[in-house]
Amino acid sequence: MVLGKRIGKQSIKLDSKPKIISAYSVVGPKEGEGPLSEYFDLILKDDLNGQKSYEKAESSILYKAITECIKKAKIQETDINYLLAGDLLNQISSSNFAARDLDIPFIGLYGACSTMTESLSLGAMIMEGGFANYLLAATSSHFSSAERQFRYPLEYGSQRHPTAHWTVTGAGAMILGKTGNYPYISYVTTGKVKDYGITDVNNMGASMAPAAIDTIKQHFQDTGRGPGDYDLIATGDLGKYGKDITSKLLKEYGYDIEKKYIDCGDEIYGSSQETNAGGSGCGCSAVVDCGYIYKNMLSGKLKRVLILSTGALLSTTSSLQGETIPGIAHAVAIEYGG
Amino acid sequence: MQVKENKIKEKFHKVTDESSPKSKLAKNCVYAFIVGGLICDIGQFFYNLLISNGVSMEDTSTWVTIIMIFIGALLTGIGIYDKIANFAGAGTVVPITGFANSIVAPAIEFKKEGYILGVGAKMFTIAGPVLVYGIGSSIILGVIYYFISR
Amino acid sequence: MDYLMAFIVGGLICVIGQILMDKTSFTPARIVVCFVTLGVILGALNIYGTIVKVGKAGATVPLPGFGYSLAKATIKEVDSKGIIGAFTGGIKGTAGGIGAAILFGYIMALIFNPKTKE
C-alpha cells in the first residue's frame, strides 16, 4: 500500500515522514577556514587525503562521509537498503569507486550540483513506498578534480571572472530511517530543466537561477505554502549574483523570500577568501545541508527549512558546440518540532 | 502560467545584467601593463646581454625565446605563475612565458594519466591552436608571397 | 632607454589583450590565437617590423612577436628556396621556441606536481 500522494504538478506529500537519522559532512582545508567551519564534522588538512590523484581523493572523501554517517547512526552498512549517490566527475566515478568498497545496493545519479536534494527526494520517495528501512543519500565534489575536467589545469595562469564560482571540496551524507525523533522530510518538489539562454560558462549562478525560481514557485503553488511557512530557504550554489536574480524574479511570481533566503555557495566562503561569486559543486549544498542546516534543526534553531540543490547541466562539449546552459533544482522540505 | 513564465523570461536577462558585478577593467589593465612590461624587460635584458657578448642578432632572437620559455616553464612548475596570472591577467597570458605556461600546466597536471597518454598527449591541449594557426597562416602567407614576388 | 620602450610597448600589447579579455567573451586561448595570427599578417606587411624597431623586446616577447618571427622566417626561406620555403620556413624559424617548449614542458612534468589552489 503506497502512502502519501501527489499534490499539485510536481510535488509529493510524504505521510510516512522519512526521518533524517544522521548526517555527516567532510570538507577540505579552504572550506574549513570559512564562516561555517564549526558546523562541519571533519575538516581535512590535505585535500589529496593521502591519495595519488584528485579523483581518488574525492572518492575517498565521499567514502569517509558515508562510513562516518553510518557509524553516527549506530547501524551497520548491511542495514542500509539503498545508496543513492552522484558527483560531477565523468561517469560519476567518485561515487562508483566509493560504492565499490561498500556493501550496499547502489543507484548512481547525475544531477550536477543538484545531486544532494535529487538523491534525498528520490530516497524519500523510496522510503514512502515502503521499499527501504534505511537509505543513504550522499554526494561529493572536489575543486581540483572539477577544474581539470571542466576548466583548466591547476597551474594554468588564467584570471578568474568576477562571476566565477569556486568548486567546494567536500562530501555530505544523510541516512533516512522510519522511526525516531529526528528532522523529517515532509514534501519533495521535483524540478524541471530550465534554460533561459545563458551561454557564459563563467556565469553559473545566472544559468541555474531560472530552475531555482521555477521549482520554488511550483513548490509554493503545489503545497499552498508561502515564504512565511519556512524559517529558512536555502538554494545550493547560485552564489552571490544568482541569489540576487532569484530573489528579484520570485517577486514577479508574488513570492518575497528575501528575509528567509540564503544560498549555500554564498555562505560557505568568507569575503576574504577571494572566491568571487561563491562556492559551487555537489559538495557545496551537501556540506551546508548536512552541517549547518541539520545541526541547527537538531538544536531547535530552525524548525522548517526548504533546501534546493541547483545544478547546471552542461557538458565539457556542449558549450563548445554553442549550446546554452540548462539548469535544474529539486526542493526538499524538512521539518522538526514545528 | 505559460504567459507569466514568458514575461519572466524577458525580465530575466535584464535582471541578470543588473545583478552582474562591475568589471574591474581599469585595475586589470594597470596590472597587465606593469607585469607585461616587466616580462618584456627581462627579455630585453637577455637580448642586450647576448648581443654584447658577440652573439648574432638572429641567434640572439632564438636564444631569448628559449630563455623566456624556460622562465615561464620554471615559474609554472614551481607554482608561482598562476598566482601572478590571477592579478596580472593578460600581462601573463600574452607574453611568450604564457605560451610556456599553457604547455607546462597540462603536462604537469596530466602526469597522473601516464607519460605517453597523459603528459605526451595533453601537453598541447591549450597551446595547440597557437601553433596550428600561427604556422598555418605563415604557410599560406609564404605561398601568397611566392606568387606575388615572382 | 631600451628598457623603457620595451616596457611601454610590451605593456600596451598586454593591455589590448586585457581589454579583449574583460570586455568580450573571448577566452584567453582565442585571444592568443588572434594575436599570433595578427603578428604573422603584420609581419608580412612589414608593419610589425617597425613596431619591433621601436619596442624591441616589448614587441618580440609578446605573442604577436612569435607570429612576426614566423612571417620573417617564412619570407626568408621562400626567397632562398622557392615555394617549398612556405612550408619549411615558419617552423625552421621558430624551431628553437617549439623545441624548448616541448623539452621544458616534459622536464617540468618529470620534476613537479600541481599544487592545490588556495
Helix or strand run (H / E) with residue A209: helix A204-223
- Report which of residues A131 and B23 the model is more confident about: A131
Residue of C1, C4, C18 to mutate, testing the B interface (most B Cβ within 10 Å of its Cβ): C18
Go through the domains of chain A in sequence order and give each one's CATH number: 5-177 (3.40.47.40), 184-335 (3.40.47.40)
- Does position B44 have pLDDT exceeding 60, yes or no? yes
- Does position A2 have pLDDT exceeding 80, yes or no? no
Report pLDDT for A209. 96
- A140 closest CA partner among A328, A286, A322, A318: A286
Mean pLDDT of B15-44: 92
Q: How far is the C-alpha of A138 from the C-alpha of A104, rounded, in Å?
A: 13
> Which band of pLDDT confidence, cut at 50, 70 and 90, is reported for residue B57?
confident
pLDDT in tens, B80-114: 999 999 999 999 999 999 999 999 999 999 999 99
Report pLDDT for A46. 94
Residues 6+ apart with CB under 8 A from A294: A20, A23, A174, A183
Residue whose C-alpha cell is 561517469? A91
Mean pLDDT of B26-44: 95
Domain ranges of chain C: 2-111
Q: How far is the C-alpha of A164 from the C-alpha of A152, rounded, in Å?
A: 13
CB contact under 8 A, A154 and C25: no
C-alpha cell belonging to residue A96: 562508483
Which among C78, C111, C114 has the least Cβ separation from residue B145? C78
Pairing type for strands A304-312 and A327-335 reads antiparallel
Interfacial C residues in 64-83 facing B (CB < 8 Å): 65-67, 69-71, 73-75, 77-79, 82-83
Residue of A147, A154, A158, A213 to mutate, testing the B interface (most B Cβ within 10 Å of its Cβ): A158
pTM of the model: 0.93
Mean pLDDT of B29-57: 95
- Does position A203 have pLDDT exceeding 80, yes or no? yes
C-alpha cell belonging to residue B87: 592579478
- B103 closest CA partner among B126, B134, B82: B126
Query: C58 in contact with B at a CB cutoff of 8 Å?
Result: yes
Report pLDDT for C116. 83
- Does position B2 have pLDDT exceeding 70, yes or no? no
Residues of C in Cβ contact (< 8 Å) with B146:
78, 82-83, 85-86
pLDDT in tens, C44-103: 999 999 999 999 999 999 999 999 999 999 999 999 999 999 999 999 999 999 999 999
> Which band of pLDDT confidence, cut at 50, 70 and 90, is reported for residue B21?
confident
Mean pLDDT of A29-43: 97
Report pLDDT for C25. 80
> Which band of pLDDT confidence, cut at 50, 70 and 90, is reported for residue C2?
confident
Lowest mean pLDDT among A77-86, A308-317, C108-117: C108-117
**Subunits with at least 3 CB pairs below 8 A relative to chain C?**
A, B
Report pLDDT for B114. 92
Please provide the average confidence, as pLDDT, over all residues in chain A. 95
Please provide the average confidence, as pLDDT, over all residues in chain B. 92
- Does position A69 have pLDDT exceeding 90, yes or no? yes
pLDDT in tens, A223-255: 999 999 999 999 999 999 999 999 999 999 999
Report pLDDT for A337. 83
For residues A261-282, b (16+ Cβ closer than 10 Å) or e, as one string? bebbbbbbbeeebebbbbbbbb
Inter-residue contact C22 to B120 (CB < 8 Å): no
Q: Give A262's DSSP letter.
A: E
How many CB pairs lie under 8 A apart between chains A and C? 20
- Does position A1 have pLDDT exceeding 60, yes or no? no
- H helices of B89-123, in order, are 90-93, 96-109, 121-122
DSSP secondary structure string for all residues of A270-332:
-GGG--TTEEESHHHHHHHIIIIIHHHHHTTS-SEEEEEEEEE---TTTTTTT----EEEEEE
pLDDT in tens, A107-127: 999 999 999 999 999 999 999
Mean pLDDT of B16-38: 91
- Does position B23 have pLDDT exceeding 90, yes or no? no
CB contact under 8 A, C114 and B108: yes
Report pLDDT for C41. 95
Residues of C in Cβ contact (< 8 Å) with B70:
100, 104
Which among A154, A157, A203 has the least Cβ separation from residue B109? A154
pLDDT in tens, A139-197: 999 999 999 999 999 999 988 889 999 999 999 999 999 999 999 999 999 999 999 99
CB contact under 8 A, C7 and B93: no
Residue of B7, B19, B122, B125 to mutate, testing the A interface (most A Cβ within 10 Å of its Cβ): B19
What ipTM describes this predicted complex?
0.93
Query: C104 in contact with B at a CB cutoff of 8 Å?
Result: yes
Query: A254 in contact with B at a CB cutoff of 8 Å?
Result: no
Lowest mean pLDDT among A79-88, A126-135, A139-148, B8-17: B8-17
Helix (H, G, I), strand (E, B) or coil at A253: coil
Query: A196 in contact with B at a CB cutoff of 8 Å?
Result: yes
- Does position A338 have pLDDT exceeding 70, yes or no? no
pLDDT in tens, A288-329: 999 999 999 999 999 999 999 999 999 989 988 999 999 999
Query: A253 in contact with B at a CB cutoff of 8 Å?
Result: yes
Query: C61 in contact with A at a CB cutoff of 8 Å?
Result: no
> Which band of pLDDT confidence, cut at 50, 70 and 90, is reported for residue C27?
confident
Query: Of A305-309, B146-150, C18-22, where does the model show the most confidence?
Result: A305-309
**Number of other CB atoms surrounding residue A129 within 10 Å:** 13
C-alpha cell belonging to residue B65: 625565446
